[in-house]
Structure 1
Amino acid sequence: MKNTTNRKQDALDYHSQGRPGKIEVIPSKPTNSQRDLALAYSPGVAEPCMEIYRTPEDVYKYTAKGNLVAVISNGTAVLGLGNIGPAASKPVMEGKGLLFKIFADIDVFDLEINATTVDEFVNVVKALEPTFGGVNLEDIGAPMCFEIERRLKEEMNIPVMHDDQHGTAIITSAALLNACQLQNKKLEKIKLVVSGAGAAAVSCIKLYLKLGVKKENMLVFDKDGIVNSSRTDLDPIRMEFATPRTDVNTLEEAMKGADVFLGLSAADVLSADMVKSMAKNPIVFALANPNPEINYDLAVSVRKDIIMATGRSDFPNQVNNVLGFPYIFRGALDVRATTINEEMKIAAVKAIADLTKLPVPEIVNLAYKAKNFKFGKDYIIPKPMDSRLMSVVSSAVAKAAIDSGVARKEITNWDAYHEELQVRLGADDKLLRNIASKAKSAPKRVVFAEADNYKILKAAQIVKDEGIATPILLGNVNRIQQIIIDHEIDLDQVEIIDPWQGTEDSEQFANHLYERRKRRGVTLYEARKLVRDRNYYGASMVEFGKADALISGLTKNYKSTLKPSLQVIGTKQGVKKIAGMYMMLTKKGPVFMGDTTVNPDPTAQDLVDITGLIHESIKGFNIMPRVALLSYSNFGGNSGPVPEKMRIATALLKEQYPDMIVDGEMQGNFAMNSELLKDNYPFSTLCGSPANTLIFPNLESGNIAYKLLQELGNVEAVGPILLGLNKPVHVLQMDSSVREIVNMVTIAVVDAQ
């Protein structure tokens, strides 16, 4: 049984540990000197103040207003939690701000306000207009939310959108367009049944009508039954789509011959028999979360001709608002739109629908472990990890704003705008999530050699819960079980092995080690002793297929942890030097660094071999390596053994790997600054874009560089990724955090795949 207490604590720890909450404000200008501060505040700040006073539109030029959205709620309809109040809604609003930032580089202030009437809410938000470029309304109860949005759109001169309404409407509309095309149905002829009449359902209905669905072909149900004109309890909003029909009273009756079902209501309200009674080639959007109106597997088992979507990520066709709202606001902000109008919403719908029909980038296929996503019954809307959404949807929304006359800023060079959108987040923003998605698509057995450690066990629980890996724990069984009990870690049914006690595999493992090392002074007796060590035993499990990958090194130094795997597993054929690589996730994109953990002082040819391993590994992440060999010298500017070694290694690489994008020797700032490189060394093969792969002349420099960058550079380090062994083994840095361990397990699983 799942340990719900432990899961609750995980969520509480995530939000409370370190800096409380999930977001912070970071200065975007230098603040290191007295001059900087004088420019940032008094007296220098007076100059932009007066410019804005003279020309109010200059507020977009001199402040963050143009990239700042308010996420605002009064906490009256928070997720499935109901009316829990503004303070309790704050974690959700911070989370929404986080999504805006990571998907569209939009800054957010979340505002939770004590306002229980429409007038109170509207007055507060209106007063904030000078601060923000846009307003995202969130988790406001119906019917209040409809009037609040209507009033604010009328009375404010910046974009306002209630995502709970329009986000779902936009994504399901795109899905509906594509599903109808695949099922050969005309929008104006489909018979639509809707279960639910809340904010999202109402917005979906209104947008469907604008796209061509006919009101007379639609039947809507709320918690009190069918919405028809004979009812006396309907508000004006629901009365708009009430049917005059009185011959249909139940959902079961309505579903007979229906073409499309839209569910935004409750779990299990739709039965298998109802789905069977639908028209040929039915479309079912069962969007109740976490459990849909009908189980996905049940629905597709009773109708082979069905197209189905849910709100869940573990089934095809997930309807996820993150496909829309970040990019709709991105486009609206970039043209300084005064509103988000129907033309902009429909442009977003069509852009999302059209994107689905284009060839899918390989990185998306890799992220979801798919051979090739292709427009069809199981792929009617894009995946959230598709980086093209940023440029495609934002551009469509921006263009619609301009064409409909609500933009205050024109875009004349659309190619340049597309490029700006593509590079805005950096290529690393989704890289780790893509790797995690790929790992989850085909989990592997990972043996943890140091399982008598809380952090290892916590990481094992996380990768098990997330579906990344099946953990196997090595160590003293009683000690491990006691740690599990003491810390309430949920690792039921996980295999625990104590190599020290011996197992049925021990003799086979010892014989293998003896055969490999008998001419290196290891006797059979010594081999039997060695395989009682957890690192030897874990490596043997991987070698003999009892596990798919090994994780170790948290409590021992790198060299002693690596040695058993080298002796038991060995290197890949043709590999002369193994290497350690770090993936540094920076704001400018991922930067790969090597060798950072293994080779103290490699020769020029060693560097060639190491670079070859790193180059191949990076290509496995679907990234084209741009390699710089680093030194304290630029292209012969200084003499000495280190520059000479790097020059020779560069020449050998160009000779042995003619297709590799590589240059050196060069200083680190020139490698990372393409403009600096172009201005001073225009002949370099790295001109045009910065290097993303840095090769250091020795272990000392590489190790120092990544550790300094990790501590001072506000980057996340993933590694060390061990390259060159015949099977997946990854050695942790001593005292790695739980998050770092989870990242390394994820890499190990993808490696094993």
Structure 2
Amino acid sequence: MTNETCKLPLKLDLFATTSRNQEILLEYIKQETLIFTPGDRSDLLLGATFSLMSDSVPSMSGIVLTIDTLPEKSVRKLVDGFHPMPLPIISTKEDTLSAVRKVDNMYPRILPDDQRKIASAIGLFSQCVDVNTFLEKMKVTKSKLMTPRMFEHFLIDKAKRHIQRIVLPEGTDERVLKAAEILVRRNVADLAILGPKDRILAAISSLGLELDEGQVDIIEPATHPSYKKYAEIYYDMRKHKGGTLDTAYETLADETYFDTMIVYMGDADGMVSGAIHTIQDTIRPAFQIIRTKPDLSIVSGVFFMCLSDRVLVYGDCGVNPRPTSEELAEIAIVSERTAAAFGIWPNVALLSYSTGPFGRGEEVDRIKKAVEIIRKRCPEMKMEGPIQ
């Protein structure tokens, strides 16, 4: 009766009912309760299902219909009309008490693809074990090779050593909320999630995530205490372009612009965007508000390509479609610094359709000139090019 993508959460409270009415059921529901009820109890099924629409009732984890009985066809049709279905509904031939005993006696496992349980386990381990002392007791051999798992560990470890405040402007996207829960479980960052508060809380509830306002800040730009101040500062930045104060207020109502102002004002250390926004929509506010470093002439980006046995950095694949030789040189130098900052040993290759000095053509000449510029500006940089 339910979407195959629905999964039971990390923790379950079991509640079995055979003759209780809806009022008693709602009274006993707690966060992550798994309900067991005979399949012909349409009243309990409907009551439990519609309770998901209420912010005042805790979110249950699922419903198990017992004794190999299903509700009437009209009830099933009504329940199936939920898109997406916010919780699993499972049917079993077992009687109610037998089903409860079987679930209660299940041996819990953590599967390799269950990121929530893995994050929870790692977070608990980090809280209870002094990892640095543990590593000191082990013989650790450092390698220049960086696998995707090593890369993730490096990032998490570095972030946990220096907790930063990060804003997420795409708070209604379920991937962002699931990622936020993992980061909270592993104590990686201080998070602020932007967007309509009611929609974010409803999404958290329907996804069964363990996120609350004590763990993350949920910010609506137009109602934030700094909204007026930010808009006035943005207006001062843009008035030479013909912008008005009303336009500034309207612009800052956009989450991407507002979270960029949060970073600019020092109220956050960074932002992560791109789940539902394009590269241009993400970069444009930063380019207008934060701007580039004084010694850089362009904005560029890199992709981290996580292969099976290594992590490669590709720059620039998404911002500058046809950079000049000077811009290529700058992109290469900045990309090399970025790779090093992320723990990747940088050996830079400037790619072309020809290798070495013997190729001919406008594209190859552009790469050759960029190589010359790099060798003059950064002679210590390990670099080859053009290379096919």
Assess same fold via TM > 0.5.
Answer: yes
Q: CA deviation at 1:313?
A: 3.2
Tell me: CA distance 1:522–1:311, structure 2 relative to 1, closer, same or farther (3 Å). Answer: closer
Aligned Cα root-mean-square deviation (Å)? 2.9
Q: CA deviation at 1:382?
A: 3.1
Query: Is 1:447 matched with 2:167?
Result: yes
Q: What is the aligned partner in structure 2 of residue 317 from structure 1?
A: 133
Q: Secondary structure at the match of 2:303?
A: strand
CA contact (8 A) 1:6 1:490 kept: no
One-letter identity of the residue aligned with 2:250: K
Q: What is the aligned partner in structure 1 of residue 227 from structure 2?
A: 506
C-alpha distance in 1 between matches for 2:302 and 2:312: 10
Q: 2:9 aligns with which of 6, 11, 32?
A: 6
Count, aligned residues: 276
Q: What is the aligned partner in structure 2 of residue 630 from structure 1?
A: 351
Q: What does 1:534-573 align with in structure 2 at a 5 Å threshold?
A: 534-573=255-294
Q: 2:218 aligns with which of 481, 496, 501?
A: 496
Q: Secondary structure at the match of 2:320?
A: coil
Tell me: CA distance 1:315–1:656, structure 2 relative to 1, closer, same or farther (3 Å). Answer: closer
C-alpha distance in 1 between matches for 2:339 and 2:170: 28
Q: What is the aligned partner in structure 2 of residue 647 from structure 1?
A: 368
C-alpha distance in 2 between matches for 1:587 and 1:503: 44
C-alpha distance in 1 between matches for 2:127 and 2:195: 41
Q: What is the aligned partner in structure 2 of residue 479 from structure 1?
A: 199
Q: Secondary structure at the match of 1:663?
A: strand
C-alpha distance in 2 between matches for 1:468 and 1:618: 21
Q: Secondary structure at the match of 1:665?
A: strand
One-letter identity of the residue aligned with 1:427: M
Q: What is the aligned partner in structure 2 of residue 387 from structure 1?
A: 141
Q: Under a length normalisation based on structure 2, what TM-score does the superposition of the two structures give?
A: 0.65
Q: What is the aligned partner in structure 1 of residue 146 from structure 2?
A: 427
Tell me: CA distance 1:600–1:529, structure 2 relative to 1, closer, same or farther (3 Å). Answer: same
Q: CA deviation at 1:590?
A: 2.3
Q: CA deviation at 1:631?
A: 0.6
Q: What is the aligned partner in structure 2 of residue 687 from structure 1?
A: none
One-letter identity of the residue aligned with 1:471: L
Q: CA deviation at 1:633?
A: 0.8
One-letter identity of the residue aligned with 1:496: I
C-alpha distance in 2 between matches for 1:317 and 1:579: 40
C-alpha distance in 2 between matches for 1:585 and 1:665: 24
Q: CA deviation at 1:595?
A: 0.3
Q: 2:330 aligns with which of 609, 612, 615?
A: 609
C-alpha distance in 2 between matches for 1:497 and 1:311: 28
CA contact (8 A) 2:264 2:289 kept: yes
Q: CA deviation at 1:515?
A: 2.0
Q: Secondary structure at the match of 1:468?
A: coil
One-letter identity of the residue aligned with 1:387: T
Structure number with greater CO (CA < 8 Å, separation at least 6) is 2
CA contact (8 A) 2:146 2:344 kept: no
* Unmatched 5+ stretches in structure 1: 10-84, 96-289, 292-309, 324-378, 389-421, 668-753
Of all paired residues, the percent bearing the same amino acid is 28
Tell me: CA distance 1:454–1:431, structure 2 relative to 1, closer, same or farther (3 Å). Answer: closer
Q: CA deviation at 1:608?
A: 0.9
Q: Secondary structure at the match of 2:240?
A: helix
C-alpha distance in 2 between matches for 1:564 and 1:311: 38
Tell me: CA distance 1:474–1:637, structure 2 relative to 1, closer, same or farther (3 Å). Answer: same
Q: CA deviation at 1:586?
A: 2.8
Q: CA deviation at 1:614?
A: 0.8
Q: CA deviation at 1:654?
A: 0.8
CA deviation vs aligned residue, 1:561-584 (integer Å, no higher than 9, x gap): 221121121112212112111222
Q: What is the aligned partner in structure 2 of residue 437 from structure 1?
A: 157
Q: CA deviation at 1:518?
A: 1.7
Tell me: CA distance 1:497–1:579, structure 2 relative to 1, closer, same or farther (3 Å). Answer: same
Q: CA deviation at 1:617?
A: 1.4
One-letter identity of the residue aligned with 2:226: D
CA deviation vs aligned residue, 1:612-639 (integer Å, no higher than 9, x gap): 1111112223443111111111124332
C-alpha distance in 1 between matches for 2:305 and 2:341: 16
Q: CA deviation at 1:312?
A: 4.2
Q: What is the aligned partner in structure 2 of residue 527 from structure 1?
A: 248
* Unmatched 5+ stretches in structure 2: 1-7, 13-104, 113-123
CA contact (8 A) 1:502 1:532 kept: no
Q: Under a length normalisation based on structure 1, what TM-score does the superposition of the two structures give?
A: 0.34
Task: After the TM superposition, list the runs of 4 or more consecutive aligned residues in structure 1 that deviate by more than 4 angstroms.
Answer: none
Structure ID, larger Rg: 1
Tell me: CA distance 1:433–1:315, structure 2 relative to 1, closer, same or farther (3 Å). Answer: closer
C-alpha distance in 2 between matches for 1:607 and 1:481: 45
C-alpha distance in 2 between matches for 1:558 and 1:427: 26
C-alpha distance in 2 between matches for 1:468 and 1:534: 23
Q: What is the aligned partner in structure 2 of residue 70 from structure 1?
A: none
Q: Secondary structure at the match of 2:10?
A: helix
Tell me: CA distance 1:639–1:619, structure 2 relative to 1, closer, same or farther (3 Å). Answer: same
C-alpha distance in 2 between matches for 1:445 and 1:456: 16
Q: 1:595 aligns with which of 287, 311, 316?
A: 316
Q: Secondary structure at the match of 1:584?
A: strand
Q: What does 1:91-170 align with in structure 2 at a 5 Å threshold?
A: none
Q: CA deviation at 1:315?
A: 5.5
CA deviation vs aligned residue, 1:491-540 (integer Å, no higher than 9, x gap): 111221111x3332112211221222222232222112111111111011
Q: Secondary structure at the match of 1:478?
A: helix
Q: CA deviation at 1:88?
A: 5.9
